[in-house]
Amino acid sequence: MPINKYNEYRRKRARAIGAEPPLGKLLDNIEYLLGGFEKRVAALSLVVIMIAIIAGVAVRFFGLPLPSYGEIAIVAMSPLTFIGAALCSYLHQHITIDVVDLIKSKILVKFVRISASLAMASFAGYFTWLSWGLFSYARMSGERLIDMGTPLWIPMICIVIGSGLMLIHAVIDIVRLSFGIKRTGGAQ
């Protein structure tokens, strides 16, 4: 029996008895935990941005002698952007090429999707490495933002974490595609 037919047989049999391959369960658990963390961070960041902007408007409107809270909103944009990007890669809601859906050959579709995940993993790995250098510099230099003196390394570590999470999701997606395990999020 060819490998593809055997894998398809195993998947159908596993679905029929309600079981999922152990590797699939492990990957689901890992991504579920990471995705939950990413959702909470993104939601909290959005709440912090909204509160900081409202507080900043109130400070200006009433002429209160308080610092600008806009800096807090700016710093909160870093986890929203970069850890939120990792959440998008987990949910497969990032920019994709929909032309893949028009391809008839399942093998070619799998090849294109694995290639896309490899490209994402390469980008995320390189970006993690670059952002680590930026984070290290910001941590070592002790630089701070102007208004409230927020350490610059705080938004920088969110870049490192977000790109690292994107790398993890891309690698897991490659494993899922390679072994025929169901993908997460909006992916097929």
Residue-wise pLDDT tens digits, 122-131: 999 999 999 9
d(C-alpha 53, C-alpha 45), whole Å: 12
Domains of the chain, by residue range, sit at 20-179
Encode the chain in three state secondary structure: CCHHHHHHHHHHHHHHCCCCCHHHHHHHHHHHHHHHHHHHHHHHHHHHHHHHHHHHHHHHHHCCCCCCCHHHHHHHHHHHHHHHHHHHHHHCCCCCCHHHHHCCCHHHHHHHHHHHHHHHHHHHHHHHHHHHHHHHHHHHHCCECCCCCCECHHHHHHHHHHHHHHHHHHHHHHHHHHHCCCCCCCCC
- Between 43 and 186, where is the model more confident? 43
User: Is this model's pTM higher than 0.85 or not?
Assistant: no
With a cut of 90, say whether residue 134 has pLDDT above it: yes
